[in-house]
Amino acid sequence: MKIIITSIFCLIFYGAQAHEPGMFFGVSGSYDSYGYSFVSQEPFDHTYSQRTSYSAGLNFGYDLNEMFSLRSGVLYSKKDYELDFEFRVITPGDPNIPDLWTYKNSYLEIPLQVDYRFVRKEKINVGASLGWITSFLVKDKRITISDAGTGSTYVNENTDLNKTLMALSASVSFEYVFNETVSVLMEPYSRWWMQPFDTVSMNENPTSTGISIGLLIRL
């Protein structure tokens, strides 16, 4: 353990001699793909489909040295999905039987991560990141469509949602450096969520993958 800690400090010290620390900020956006697992609900089968999910917002951080950075931000995230019901036993004309539930959920996300650049060239940097994301529910609604003779639509809140979500995040980063100030960052990522989004309908903690593209400006 002492050898590992000493090695990390040596890497940070070496990088500090080669690169002046400084702050940076930027904007980023990502397409997100989620894997959900839903509880079976009698007396019908259901089919899950993901609607468009994305995140976008501001990033800021601090270059500790040439190799290590700390990064955070504030992101707006959409996590929408649908449940399409197919009844095994149908009561014709019953307006209380739903055909489709559409969930529209909005979150405010705060990431905190450590970046490590293991390839550093004049124009290209390649690195890896490990961090933690906390998501706070800011808006939600469930749209119920009942086609059994009425075509009625109802909109209400989904009271079964977790108000706070947390996830472990890992990514690989590819940075193209235009000059000392401006660069573009592309990051494929994976996330492992610590709790299900819906406490009743979902029976497993979801995972998510995606790719983020951002613009960074170093001060």
* Residue 190 within any structural domain of the chain: yes
pLDDT value of residue 19: 53
Q: Is 142:161 a contact under the CB 8 Å cutoff?
A: no
pLDDT value of residue 91: 56
* Residue 86 within any structural domain of the chain: yes
Beta strands 152-156 and 22-35, pairing class: unpaired
* Residue 113 within any structural domain of the chain: yes
Number of H helices, E strands in the chain: 1, 11
* Residue 1 within any structural domain of the chain: no
DSSP, residue by residue, 69-84: EEEEEEEEEE--EEEE
pLDDT value of residue 90: 55
User: 0.85 exceeded by the pTM?
Assistant: no
* Residue 158 within any structural domain of the chain: yes
Residue 141's CB: how many other CB atoms inside 10 A?
13
* Average pLDDT, 10 consecutive residues per value, the chain (219 residues): 48 47 94 82 69 92 94 95 68 61 90 95 94 94 67 67 93 95 96 89 86 95
Q: Which domain holds residue 113?
A: 20-218
* Residue 37 within any structural domain of the chain: yes
CATH of the domain at 69: 2.40.160.20
Total domains in the chain come to 1
pLDDT value of residue 147: 61
